[in-house]
């Protein structure tokens, strides 16, 4: 083994074991760039996430200008996170499982018929356009469903 030139003044006093110790001490703490443990965690996570999004990667030679650069073309898949909306803007889903019960079904039919009959009488008296008719029918249906059936409970996975 060769002795490094920066050892110091007492190089003539050490034996072969000392020479090996000096050699190991000077080269032991160097980083290995191929070892993933020496890479900082944030950079490693970013690179791993980038590799997961790449589907098809191709490289082709660029212009002939004596350069070592190559053109890289890649298809990336985009993953979007689901944005949970607040209770006001979310779609109201009614508990339609209650309609399998005959008593609840009859109660719902009677309530809906009564409200639609009242709405029909109201619309006959005054002339209105199609938009107003639809808004009335929609409000009648949603209010009847909410009173008789109730809202379905959301079970978000965590």
60 inside domain: no
Domain that holds residue 47: 1-55
Q: Average per-residue pLDDT in the chain?
A: 75
> What is the model's pTM?
0.42
pLDDT for the residue numbered 158: 60
Is the confidence at residue 115, as pLDDT, over 90?
A: yes
154 inside domain: no
Assign 126 a pLDDT band (cuts: 50, 70, 90): confident
**How many C-beta atoms lie closer than 10 Å to residue 145's C-beta?**
21
Total tally of structural domains belonging to the chain: 2
61 inside domain: no
115 inside domain: yes
pLDDT for the residue numbered 113: 95
Residues 1 and 51 in one domain: yes
Is the confidence at residue 11, as pLDDT, over 90?
A: no
The angle, 0 to 180 degrees and rounded to 10, between the axes of the packed helices 130-148 and 102-125 is 150
């Amino acid at each position: 083994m060769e002795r490094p030139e920066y050892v110091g003044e007492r190089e003539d006093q050490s034996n072969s074991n000392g020479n090996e110790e000096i050699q190991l001490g000077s080269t032991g703490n160097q980083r290995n760039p191929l070892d993933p443990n020496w890479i900082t965690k944030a950079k490693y996570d970013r690179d791993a996430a980038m590799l997961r999004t790449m589907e098809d990667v191709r490289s082709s030679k660029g212009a002939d200008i004596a350069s070592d650069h190559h053109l890289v073309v890649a298809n990336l898949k985009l993953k979007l996170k689901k944005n949970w909306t607040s209770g006001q803007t979310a779609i109201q889903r009614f508990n339609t499982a209650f309609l399998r019960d005959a008593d609840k079904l009859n109660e719902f039919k009677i309530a809906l018929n009564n409200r639609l009959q009242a709405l029909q009488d109201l619309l006959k008296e005054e002339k209105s356009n199609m938009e107003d008719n639809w808004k009335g029918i929609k409000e009648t249906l949603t209010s009847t469903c909410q009173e008789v059936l109730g809202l379905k409970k959301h079970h978000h996975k965590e």
